[in-house]
């Protein structure tokens, strides 16, 4: 094959030297095209599979499916022949079985899109060492040290921060138009689980809003499910009834956008535009664009090259993107203002988690041990604040920011922010009091 390639290259060079008219130039192009085909034929073959927690009705899974199809079809792969998509796969042993089914179909590259798949993908990677397993949102690849197991995520906190700026500008518009008072600038957020990924997202969103609307507060309510349209819709209605003027989310259905459209409350969703269900309320959305990662991995396998164990996409890689703005709902000048924020984030002039811009329990945070190297006890192990910046997705791709920023309250914990610290203090105080009583009682008993 190499001899043929060198021969074609030689002929192409000779023709370039002697090409003096259009006919000869056309001949050169023909031989160049054949050379390209020869090179492509020499690349390693990719047969890819994608395992999804839900289906295309989930905005989260749909985002993966679209990007996966785009990357596969761009290199000539055919659905159900050289690429496969498995949907509605539970986060249990079923996902391991599904991975092995894809291997049996010839897949040498398998992606899994949901957090709960990780242990099952690691198990599959150990069983099938010649197949690469890439898991989105996972936390263990950098410590598992398996050559065929990989994690990937993106600095989506930057995207959340930018959409937060859009929310803050909308609140400012309401204040300027006397629709609300400054102290009524309140955001609502429908979250799935109390995981770092969700906490990081809503904290960045809030801080983006606060950067332009200093009086803003935010109320978060968790559904304890990635996808529950009825509950997400109910919770959005609840947040609106609690005085929230704009609703955002980290949950995967259209429940919250539909509730906002019914009540005429502006909405900033996640994972793509929902303008079709919210034409009068949708402002903008952020999402992780997975196509750059899919292309990077597939090209690496085709070229026989190693690729990152733990990959973080950024604005620069085209992995953190915003939808188009709905100019009918967004405050005037929002698109231009957010574009400037984007430039500053890229240049390092501003950071989503600049510790000078927020407090926790009324104090600036100067040091924070994050749980970066995952273990069963989730023990904090790595200093995450360097030069006053919380280094989100720098020490590991998946988020680990899990502080409760002042100005944000959690449903059911509104009067007990930073519950863990308060509970610990109470426990210590109670233990000390009991110890004193026991000591005094023992003293009198011995007398």
**How far apart are the C-alpha atoms of 211 and 144, rounded to whole Å?**
39
Q: Which contiguous run of DSSP H or E holds residue 102? A: helix 93-104
Section 336-357 average pLDDT: 98
DSSP string, 7-50: HHHHHHHHHHHH--SHHHHHHHHHHHHHHHHHHHHHSPP--EEE
**Is the C-alpha dihedral spanning 39, 45, 49, 50 positive or negative?**
negative
For residue 87, how many C-alpha atoms fall within 13 Å in the half-sphere facing its CB? 11
Q: Rg of the chain's alpha carbons, rounded to an integer?
A: 26
Section 110-115 average pLDDT: 97
**How far apart are the C-alpha atoms of 377 and 399, rounded to whole Å?**
17
- 166 contacts 325 by C-beta, under 8 angstroms: yes
Cα 129 to Cα 83, 100, 103, 104, distances in angstroms: 20, 12, 11, 14
What pLDDT, on a 0 to 100 scale, did the predictor assign at position 364?
97
- Of the chain, the percentage scoring pLDDT greater than 70 comes to 83
- 31 contacts 66 by C-beta, under 8 angstroms: no
pLDDT tens column, 227-256: 999 999 999 999 999 999 999 999 999 999
- Helices 156-176 and 334-347 cross at an angle (nearest 10°) of 150
pLDDT of 13 strictly over 80: no
Single pTM value for the model: 0.85
Residue 335 class from Cβ within 10 Å (0-12 exposed, 13-18 middle, 19+ buried)? middle
Section 82-88 average pLDDT: 98
pLDDT tens column, 354-384: 999 999 999 999 999 999 998 888 899 999 9
Residues whose CB falls within 8 Å of the CB of residue 340, separated by 6 or more in sequence, listed in order: none
- 124 contacts 89 by C-beta, under 8 angstroms: no
pLDDT of 96 strictly over 90: yes
**How far apart are the C-alpha atoms of 251 and 59, rounded to whole Å?**
9
- The CATH code belonging to domain 157-292+309-364+403-410 is 3.40.50.2300
What pLDDT, on a 0 to 100 scale, did the predictor assign at position 42?
63
**What secondary structure, in 3-state letters, does 132-184 show?**
EEEEECCCCHHHHCCCCEEEEEECHHHHHHHHHHHHHHHHHHHHHCCCCCHHH
What pLDDT, on a 0 to 100 scale, did the predictor assign at position 1?
45
C-beta neighbour count of 182 within 10 angstroms:
12
Section 419-442 average pLDDT: 34
Cα 417 to Cα 192, 350, 420, distances in angstroms: 19, 27, 9
Section 259-273 average pLDDT: 97
Q: Which contiguous run of DSSP H or E holds residue 345? A: helix 334-347
Residue 360's nearest CA partner among 302, 305, 422, 313 is 422
Question: 3-state DSSP call for residue 109?
Answer: strand
What pLDDT, on a 0 to 100 scale, did the predictor assign at position 43?
82
Residue 199 class from Cβ within 10 Å (0-12 exposed, 13-18 middle, 19+ buried)? buried
pLDDT of 419 strictly over 90: no
pLDDT of 424 strictly over 50: no
**How far apart are the C-alpha atoms of 69 and 79, rounded to whole Å?**
8
What pLDDT, on a 0 to 100 scale, did the predictor assign at position 376?
81
Average pLDDT in the chain: 88
Section 17-25 average pLDDT: 44
pLDDT of 286 strictly over 50: yes
pLDDT of 12 strictly over 60: no
Least confident span in 24-28, 145-149, 167-171, 298-302: 24-28
What pLDDT, on a 0 to 100 scale, did the predictor assign at position 56?
97
Q: In the structure, what pLDDT confidence band is assigned to residue 41 with cuts at 50, 70 and 90? A: low
C-beta neighbour count of 5 within 10 angstroms:
14
What pLDDT, on a 0 to 100 scale, did the predictor assign at position 14?
41
**How far apart are the C-alpha atoms of 290 and 292, rounded to whole Å?**
6
What pLDDT, on a 0 to 100 scale, did the predictor assign at position 427?
31
Q: Which contiguous run of DSSP H or E holds residue 220? A: strand 217-222
The size of the chain, in residues, is 447
pLDDT of 33 strictly over 70: no
What pLDDT, on a 0 to 100 scale, did the predictor assign at position 30?
55
pLDDT of 17 strictly over 50: no
- Residue corresponding to tokens 């303008």: 275
Question: 3-state DSSP call for residue 86?
Answer: strand
**How far apart are the C-alpha atoms of 417 and 384, rounded to whole Å?**
22
């Amino acid at each position: 094959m190499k001899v043929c390639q060198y021969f074609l290259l030689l002929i192409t060079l000779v023709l370039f030297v002697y090409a003096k008219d259009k006919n000869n130039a056309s001949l050169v192009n023909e031989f160049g095209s054949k050379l390209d085909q020869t090179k492509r034929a020499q690349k390693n073959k990719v047969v890819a599979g994608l395992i999804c927690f839900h289906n295309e009705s989930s905005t989260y899974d749909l985002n993966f499916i679209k990007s996966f199809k785009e990357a596969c079809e761009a290199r000539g792969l055919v659905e159900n022949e050289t690429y496969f998509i498995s949907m509605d796969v539970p986060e249990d042993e079923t996902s391991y079985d599904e991975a092995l089914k894809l291997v049996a179909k010839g897949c040498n590259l398998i992606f899994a899109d949901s957090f709960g798949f990780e242990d099952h993908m690691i198990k599959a990677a150990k069983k099938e060492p010649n197949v690469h397993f890439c898991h989105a949102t996972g936390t263990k690849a950098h410590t598992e040290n398996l050559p065929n197991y990989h994690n990937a995520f993106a600095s989506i906190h930057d995207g959340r921060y930018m959409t937060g700026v859009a929310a803050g500008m909308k609140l400012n518009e309401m204040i300027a138009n006397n629709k609300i008072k400054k102290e009524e600038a309140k955001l609502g957020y429908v979250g799935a689980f109390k995981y770092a990924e969700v906490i990081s997202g809503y904290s960045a969103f809030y801080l983006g809003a606060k950067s332009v609307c200093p009086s803003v507060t935010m109320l978060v309510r968790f559904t304890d499910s990635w996808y529950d349209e009825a509950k997400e819709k109910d919770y959005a209605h609840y947040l609106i009834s609690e005085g929230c003027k704009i609703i955002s989310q980290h949950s995967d259905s259209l429940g919250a956008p539909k509730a906002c459209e019914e009540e005429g409350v502006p909405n900033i969703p996640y994972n793509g535009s929902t303008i079709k269900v919210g034409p009068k309320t949708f402002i903008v959305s952020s999402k992780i664009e997975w196509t750059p990662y899919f292309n990077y991995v597939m090209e690496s396998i085709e070229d026989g090259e190693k690729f990152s164990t733990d990959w973080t996409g950024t604005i620069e890689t085209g992995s953190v993107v915003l939808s188009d703005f709905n100019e009918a709902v967004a405050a005037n000048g929002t698109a231009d203002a957010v574009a400037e924020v984007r430039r500053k984030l890229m240049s390092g002039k501003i950071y989503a988690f600049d510790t000078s811009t927020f407090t926790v329990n009324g104090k600036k945070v100067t040091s924070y041990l994050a749980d970066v190297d995952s273990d069963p006890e989730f023990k904090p192990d790595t200093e995450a604040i360097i030069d006053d910046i919380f280094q989100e997705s720098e020490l590991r791709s998946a988020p680990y920011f899990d502080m409760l920023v002042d100005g944000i309250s959690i449903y059911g914990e509104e009067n007990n922010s930073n519950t863990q610290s308060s509970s610990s203090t109470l426990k210590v105080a109670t233990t000390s009091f009991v110890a004193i009583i026991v000591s005094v009682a023992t003293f009198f008993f011995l007398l």
